[in-house]
């Protein structure tokens, strides 16, 4: 997902390849113009005939070949390479977006299950799960994403107007503390932490459980009877 930074990356990719194509194109054009201009000066000012002949026979043909190479070969190759890079990046963005949606949805479902078992509000748990990493995905960074994510979630909830101030505080507290897996916080905070661990650990069975989540994961296995 990481919409902000990814948009910048795609824009920079366009700019880099575009400037490269323009450089080669106009460099070739400038060489041709300069050579014909110099040739015209030398011809009008009575330059030595052997030098004129050498210039016409060697420099001009070479520059023409270079120009045609840039125009007909290099530019299409560069353009094709740019298109491949662009569509590959577009495909990667789609994969990242799908992974982000799957994680938010998976954590939300796990949070509802845990909240129901522990007697917490499943609706608040579901909302916390859907919003807990939204800031990180939007801005493309996990730096201090729990605290900043809580502030971002608070703004979203304020705009939606679907929760009371107390409910908003509960949700935002869970998001603010969800990255502190080694600590024990408020009941809803623990619901979101455990839901995050469940999806990290069970979302892809081929991956090992993260070291800092292993103790919490083993406790969840005992609580829910996972094997």
Q: How confident is the model at residue 131 (pLDDT cuts 50, 70, 90)?
A: very high
Domain match, 58 and 156 both: no
Q: State CA 201 to chain mean position distance.
A: 23
Q: Concatenated DSSP letters for 161-187?
A: T-S-HHHHHHHHHHHHHTT-TTS---H
Span 57-71, average pLDDT: 62
Q: How confident is the model at residue 147 (pLDDT cuts 50, 70, 90)?
A: very high
Q: Which of 65-69, 109-113, 223-227 has the lowest mean pLDDT?
A: 65-69
Check whether 47 has a pLDDT greater than 50.
yes
Domain match, 114 and 194 both: yes
Domain match, 214 and 102 both: yes
Domain match, 104 and 178 both: yes
Domain boundary among 29, 64, 95: 95
Residues 195-214 pLDDT 10s: 999 999 888 777 888 888 99
Domain match, 82 and 113 both: no
Domain with 207, as residue range(s), is: 96-224
Check whether 227 has a pLDDT greater than 70.
no
pLDDT at 56: 56
What are the φ/ψ torsions at residue 207 (nearest 5 degrees)? -95, 145
Instruction: Answer with the residue of higher pLDDT: 168 or 74.
Output: 168
pLDDT at 203: 81
Domain boundary among 61, 95, 129: 95
Domain boundary among 41, 65, 95: 95
Question: Exposure pattern of 12-43 as b/e (b: 16+ CB <10 Å)?
Answer: eeeeebeebbeebbeebeebeeebeeebeeee
Domain match, 85 and 173 both: no
- CA 190, CA 173: separation in Å to the nearest integer? 10
Q: Which of 6-15, 23-32, 142-151, 179-188 has the lowest mean pLDDT?
A: 6-15
pLDDT at 2: 46
pLDDT at 208: 87
Domain match, 55 and 164 both: no
Residues 104-113 pLDDT 10s: 999 999 999 9
- CA 81, CA 12: separation in Å to the nearest integer? 15
> For the domain that residue 140 is a member of, what is the CATH number?
1.10.3210.10
Q: How many domains does the chain have?
A: 2
Residues 155-197 pLDDT 10s: 999 999 999 999 999 999 999 999 999 999 999 999 999 999 9
3-state secondary structure of 227: coil
Domain match, 83 and 186 both: no
Domain match, 76 and 121 both: no
Check whether 37 has a pLDDT greater than 50.
yes
Domain match, 212 and 101 both: yes
Domain match, 125 and 75 both: no
Span 69-94, average pLDDT: 67
Beta-carbon neighbour count of residue 189 at 10 Å? Answer: 20
Beta strand spans in the chain (E): none
Domain match, 57 and 138 both: no
């Amino acid at each position: 997902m990481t919409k902000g930074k990814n948009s910048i990356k795609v824009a920079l990719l366009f700019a880099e390849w575009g400037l490269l194509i323009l450089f080669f194109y106009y460099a070739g054009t400038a060489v041709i113009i300069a050579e014909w201009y110099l040739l015209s000066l030398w011809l009008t000012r009575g330059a030595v005939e052997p030098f004129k002949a050498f210039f016409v026979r060697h420099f001009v043909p070479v520059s023409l070949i270079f120009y045609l190479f840039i125009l007909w070969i290099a530019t299409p190759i560069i353009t094709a390479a740019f298109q491949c890079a662009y569509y590959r990046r577009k495909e990667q963005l789609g994969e990242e977006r799908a992974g982000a949606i799957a994680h938010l949805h998976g954590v939300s479902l796990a949070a509802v299950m845990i909240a129901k078992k522990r007697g917490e509000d499943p609706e608040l748990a579901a909302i916390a799960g859907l919003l807990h990493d939204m800031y990180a995905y939007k801005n493309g960074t996990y730096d201090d994403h729990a605290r900043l994510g809580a502030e971002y979630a608070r703004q979203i909830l304020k705009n939606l107007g679907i929760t009371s101030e107390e409910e908003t505080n509960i949700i935002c507290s869970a998001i603010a503390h969800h990255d502190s897996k080694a600590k024990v916080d408020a009941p809803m905070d623990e619901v979101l932490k455990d839901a995050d661990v469940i999806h990290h650990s069970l979302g892809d069975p081929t991956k090992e459980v993260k070291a800092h989540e292993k103790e919490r994961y083993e406790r969840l296995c005992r609580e829910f009877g996972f094997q």
